[in-house]
Amino acid sequence: MSVDSTTSPPATSPSPRQHIRLTSHAGGLGSLPIHWDAATPAERGPVVGTTTRRAHRNVIGTHSGSYSVYRALAVAAGALKREHRADLTNTSPTDVIGPYPQWSEPGKIVSMDPWGAVVSDVFAQELAAGYDIRPTIAVTKAHVILPEVIDALQKGRLKADGKFLTAGGAALVTKAAIEPVWWLPGVAKRFGCSETDLRRVLFEETGGMYPELVTRSDLEVFLPPIGGQTVYIFGNPRDLANPEVELTARVHDECNGSDVFGSDICTCRPYLTHAIEECIQGAQRGGVGLISYARKEGRALGEVTKFLVYNARKRQLGGDTADQYFARTECVAGVQDMRFQELMPDVLHWLGIRKIHRLVSMSNMKYDAITGSGIEVGDRVNIPDDLIPADARVEIDAKMAAGYFTPGKVPGADELKATRGRGLGE
Ligand SMILES: [Zn+2]
């Protein structure tokens, strides 16, 4: 017979560790207000997503994006003390980014905290007063070495200068990792829905993971459990904000299969490395280069969906053809794409960008989002034909027919039927 706890209370009361605090009743006493578009950090207020002092929290969710779940695991496993506070000694950015006017222009940045890299400086008082304020952005230096860049050096397309590119093929970059910080009223506006609807759907579609979305309308900032983004800057980061300096830029969405493992069914890695080559050349011309890399694997559908689509494409009657490319994705995922570039330009505004002279992208969705957010775009740079893997012809032809930029001919219906990829067994 099972024990009914309502009639048979346990002999001992639960320990404090078993007691779950309802987030809907979490104090607010001692928490600092956030005024999102405020001009100064003092008026804006810090983002406090710590779980150590719950009364200090002024956001929904917690830090580190999707890795917040691993942090919870580490606490559960006894490997991490839940009261651990980061020692931020010597972690400050290697390069100063901003502040730029866009940081406080209403609605310009809604999906990241522009002050996220400099919390130790601008919120020093609050930190000293005991608030656990964590950086959501980190800026550092790196050398990036890619076989495609070494190949370009050997073929003479790139020249080493010891400043932007070493003789060994290492490109010198400044890179910044950025975690998502969503100001919900602004995010809702970008997507043309009401904040109430956005909150309710976020609550429901995450399986009720964040009750505060629906119970705490006073909390307007959400740290979503999703991947963030990384920017790689070739040249002086300050030059990004100067429209007089030639800017070569690519906004790239993650594709692990191609980017890392060299899968040849899409153009992701060839386009990325081509963009890096363009960025190095741009920096050497006296300009600056930028790669923004967003963790939106497989059009933000995830790799499982992506691989299911590959199979569906290759097993369909007639084989993998460009005319069925989007249809197969939609069959499995319900949509063609979930990347929704609406939030993408935020990072460009954080960097102070007003003009992109050379946009290394053929995507009309990215172009429309960037120009729609008030950034001027000069030339659009397509991927050279000889960099397109044979099996990726299906993807690129389908995309060009759907509106992707191409300086060449847009394939017609007959050509889309004729563009065919490899079979699964080949
Ligand atoms: Zn890809």
Distance 218 CA to ligand 1 centre (A): 40
Q: Is residue 160 part of a domain?
A: no
For 73-124, the pLDDT digits (tens) are 999 999 999 899 999 999 999 999 999 999 999 999 999 999 999 999 999 9
The distance between the two most distant Cα atoms of the chain, rounded to a whole number of Å, is 82
Give the residue numbers marked as catalytic.
337, 339
pLDDT of residue 18: 57
pLDDT at 316 over 90: yes
Q: Is residue 369 part of a domain?
A: no
Q: Is residue 350 part of a domain?
A: no
pLDDT at 50 over 60: yes
15 or 350, greater pLDDT:
350
Q: Provide the pLDDT confidence category of residue 360 given band limits of 50, 70 and 90.
A: very high
The residue assigned the tokens 């309802």 is 22
Distance 264 CA to ligand 1 centre (A): 8
Q: How far is the CA of 401 from the CAs of 46, 236, 279, in angstroms? A: 46, 37, 28
Q: The dihedral of CA 343, 348, 354, 356: what is its sign? A: negative
Q: Is residue 96 part of a domain?
A: yes
Q: What distance lies between CA 313 and its chain's CA centroid?
A: 28
Distance 267 CA to ligand 1 centre (A): 6
- For the residues 237-260, what does the mean pLDDT come to? 97
**Tokens encoding 77:** 């496993």
- Separation CA 423–CA 310 (nearest Å): 10
Distance 257 CA to ligand 1 centre (A): 7
Residues having C-beta closer than 5 Å to ion ligand 1 = 255, 258, 266, 268
Query: What pTM was computed for the model?
Result: 0.92
pLDDT of residue 17: 52
pLDDT at 26 over 60: no
pLDDT of residue 263: 95
Distance 278 CA to ligand 1 centre (A): 20
Q: Is residue 373 part of a domain?
A: no
Q: Is residue 210 part of a domain?
A: yes
Residue 354: helix, strand or coil by DSSP?
Answer: coil
Q: Provide the pLDDT confidence category of residue 6 given band limits of 50, 70 and 90.
A: very low
Strands 229-234 and 288-294: antiparallel
Residues 6+ positions from 153 with CB-CB distance below 8 Å: 159, 160, 165, 167, 169
The residue assigned the tokens 């969405």 is 253
Q: What distance lies between CA 338 and its chain's CA centroid?
A: 13
Q: How much is the mean pLDDT over the chain?
A: 92
Residue 423: helix, strand or coil by DSSP?
Answer: coil
16 or 50, greater pLDDT:
50
For 113-137, the pLDDT digits (tens) are 999 999 999 999 999 999 999 999 9
Count Cβ atoms within 10 A of the Cβ of residue 318 and give its class: 0-12 exposed, 13-18 middle, 19 or more buried.
exposed
CA atoms within 13 Å, Cβ hemisphere of 15: 1
Share of the chain above pLDDT 90, in %: 89
pLDDT of residue 10: 41
Q: Provide the pLDDT confidence category of residue 20 given band limits of 50, 70 and 90.
A: low
Distance 165 CA to ligand 1 centre (A): 27
- Among 169, 177, 181, 216, smallest CA distance to 44 is for 181
Q: Provide the pLDDT confidence category of residue 21 given band limits of 50, 70 and 90.
A: low
Q: Which of 25-34, 37-46, 176-185 has the lowest mean pLDDT?
A: 25-34
Distance 266 CA to ligand 1 centre (A): 5
For 267-309, the pLDDT digits (tens) are 999 999 999 999 999 999 999 999 999 999 999 999 999 999 9
Distance 255 CA to ligand 1 centre (A): 5
- Separation CA 331–CA 283 (nearest Å): 43
pLDDT at 328 over 50: yes
Distance 109 CA to ligand 1 centre (A): 28
- For the residues 357-365, what does the mean pLDDT come to? 96
Distance 163 CA to ligand 1 centre (A): 31
pLDDT at 29 over 70: no
- Amino acid letter, 331: C
> How many domains would you assign to the chain?
1
Q: Is residue 39 part of a domain?
A: yes
8 A C-beta contact, residue 114 and residue 350: yes
**Tokens encoding 356:** 């992109």
Distance 298 CA to ligand 1 centre (A): 7
pLDDT of residue 60: 97
Range of the domain at 120: 26-135+182-223
8 A C-beta contact, residue 146 and residue 169: yes
pLDDT of residue 30: 80
For 181-225, the pLDDT digits (tens) are 999 999 999 999 999 999 999 999 999 999 999 999 999 999 999
The residue assigned the tokens 């390069």 is 95
The residue assigned the tokens 């006493």 is 29
**Tokens encoding 104:** 């406080």
Residue 189 neighbours by CB distance under 10 Å: 16
pLDDT of residue 396: 93
Q: Is residue 190 part of a domain?
A: yes
Q: How far is the CA of 131 from the CAs of 128, 319, 326, 380, in angstroms? A: 7, 59, 49, 46
